[in-house]
């Protein structure tokens, strides 16, 4: 009985040490993540994933040693595993999914199809990657809701990454005008508004600048039933500024059209008696 009490005490001590080590490791890694996050040139993805990996390893080893320190529990665990074949199969299937998520998470961190703070679009969701854990990826959408996607699922999805390789975004500014409107004037208004917007950037290469290529391109792309569809190409530094710029341009172009007498067509319903 005395030996059992000593074993239980050792087990409790191991658990306490495990919790303390996990706390200190978590605090240290979080400090590194905050330091890296302040530096925009560094990617915190590896540190965040390493945090989950290190904490999982500490808890697994710690609690495993705590159980192993009690001989009676060790014997009971061995007998249960030896006689529970069905349970072992069930655990194997469960572990297969868990291991698949872990491996998929490792591949995501290694090959980086996306990383922390990237803007993703997949299925019907659009948001910013907030965390990549051992089991799932957390995406924060623009309503501040969290979308939890298992790593195995997101690894098999077709993803649109607005920040992959290059952050510059080309935003299409598409506006229809009526057939009675001055086409050249409408195109010049769209080009002027794009050039005058403070978030617009010049994406042209030095050769294109030397050749005199226009900085803001506007073209007629379709002749529709109710009017002509114009498209302007507006460039910005990233997806966030691109959205803001497109909203501003739609408003400013509409006001300019009203001033210059450019009509935007809309469906008409004719009643015949």
- pLDDT, tens only, 178-228: 999 999 999 999 999 999 999 999 988 888 888 988 999 999 999 988 899
Strand-pair partners of 233: 172, 217
Question: Could you give the angle at which helices 85-111 and 45-68 cross, rounded to 10 degrees?
Answer: 150
| Count of other CB atoms within 10 angstroms of residue 269 | 4
Same domain, 14 and 58: yes
Same domain, 151 and 178: no
115-138 mean pLDDT? 89
CATH code at 125? 2.30.30
Note whether residue 38 is domain-resident. Answer: yes
Note whether residue 99 is domain-resident. Answer: no
Domain that holds residue 249: 169-260
Same domain, 145 and 188: no
Global pTM reads 0.63
Cα angle, residue 133 at apex, residues 128 and 139 outer, rounded to 5°: 20
Same domain, 230 and 212: yes
Q: Which of 36-40, 222-226, 229-233 has the lowest average pLDDT?
A: 36-40
Q: How far is the CA of 15 from the CAs of 2, 63, 213, in angstroms?
A: 20, 6, 69
Note whether residue 145 is domain-resident. Answer: yes
- Biggest CA–CA distance in the chain, Å, is 103
| Domain boundary, last residue among 59, 83, 107 | 83
Note whether residue 29 is domain-resident. Answer: yes
Note whether residue 156 is domain-resident. Answer: yes
90-113 mean pLDDT? 77
Note whether residue 9 is domain-resident. Answer: yes
Same domain, 183 and 250: yes
């Amino acid at each position: 009985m005395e030996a059992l009490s000593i074993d239980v005490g050792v087990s409790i001590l191991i658990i306490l040490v495990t919790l303390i080590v996990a706390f200190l490791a978590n605090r240290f890694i979080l400090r590194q993540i905050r330091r890296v996050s302040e530096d925009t040139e560094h990617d915190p993805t590896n540190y965040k994933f390493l945090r989950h990996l290190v904490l999982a390893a500490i808890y697994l080893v710690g609690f495993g040693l705590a159980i192993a320190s009690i001989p009676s529990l060790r014997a009971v665990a061995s007998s249960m595993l030896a006689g529970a074949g069905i349970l072992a199969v069930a655990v194997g299937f469960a572990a297969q999914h868990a291991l698949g998520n872990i491996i998929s998470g490792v591949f995501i961190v290694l090959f980086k199809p996306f990383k922390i703070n990237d803007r993703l679009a997949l299925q019907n969701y659009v948001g910013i990657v907030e965390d990549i854990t051992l089991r799932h990826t957390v995406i924060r959408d623009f309503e501040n809701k969290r979308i939890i996607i298992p790593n195995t699922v997101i690894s098999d999805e077709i993803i649109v990454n607005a920040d992959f390789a290059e952050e510059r975004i080309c935003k299409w500014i598409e506006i229809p005008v009526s057939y009675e409107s001055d086409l050249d004037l409408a195109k010049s208004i769209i080009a002027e508004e794009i050039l005058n917007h403070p978030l617009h950037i010049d994406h042209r290469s030095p050769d294109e600048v030397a050749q005199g290529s226009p900085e803001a391109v506007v073209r007629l792309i379709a002749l529709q039933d109710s009017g002509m569809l114009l498209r302007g190409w507006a460039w910005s530094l990233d997806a966030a500024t691109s959205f803001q710029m497109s909203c501003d341009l739609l408003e400013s172009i509409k006001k300019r059209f009203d001033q210059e007498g450019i009509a935007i067509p809309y469906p008409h319903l004719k009643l015949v008696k």
